[in-house]
Amino acid sequence: MMTSTYELLKAKQSEFNTFNSTVVRPLVGLNEEEMDNLGFAEVAKRIGDLDIRKRYCELAFAMLDANIAHYQSDATIMPVPDTTIITHEWNNSGVVASTLVVSAIAYYLGGTISALLAAAAWYWLSHWLSNKAASYRTQQLSKEAMAHQEAAIAHNELVAEWAATLQKWEAACGELRAM
């Protein structure tokens, strides 16, 4: 079964945090705030037992790798959609077909004049309704496009920050690999 990057990240974080809080923190003798101020490699250097240090490095590396995999897309620029030309063309086949049906019924019930009047009135009404529906759909498409545009702009404003964070995580992975 394929797991999402989020599920993998949560599993790796949980495994690392459990090991860190139950084994490493008591061994190193630092509180949580002090450990948060140190990098992964700095904490690893303070672990005297080589087996525990190796396990700590493996878990930290796996968690950082999962972080990078999950948040990689946040460091990628999204294309901003163009919202200048959004139209929805209405299909007049329904208008024409329903007008023919109405005129045929009116012709059957009342003759040629009533068929012409019914066809004219029905065509005008169905055309007006169809234009209203097309206008409404165009407004909906515009709102959706604006929402996508705003989301892309907001995402792109944070890309540099995410890229810097990913570089720090990759550097920490490199330090852990070197140990």
Residue 88: its pLDDT value, please? Answer: 63
pLDDT of 82 strictly over 90: no
Least confident span in 26-30, 54-58, 144-148, 172-176:
26-30
DSSP the chain: -PPPHHHHHHHHHHHHHHHIIIIIHHHHT--HHHHHHS-HHHHHHT---HHHHHHHHHHHHHHHHHHHHHHGGGGSPPPPPP-S----PPPTHHHHHHHHHHHHHHHHHH-HHHHHHHHHHHHHHHHHHHHHHHHHHHHHHHHHHHHHHHHHHHHHHTHHHHHHHHHHHHHHHHHHHH-
pLDDT of 2 strictly over 60: no
pLDDT digit string (tens) for 39-66? 889 999 988 888 999 999 999 999 999 9
Residue 66: its pLDDT value, please? Answer: 94
pLDDT digit string (tens) for 118-169? 999 999 999 999 888 888 888 888 888 889 899 999 999 999 999 999 999 9
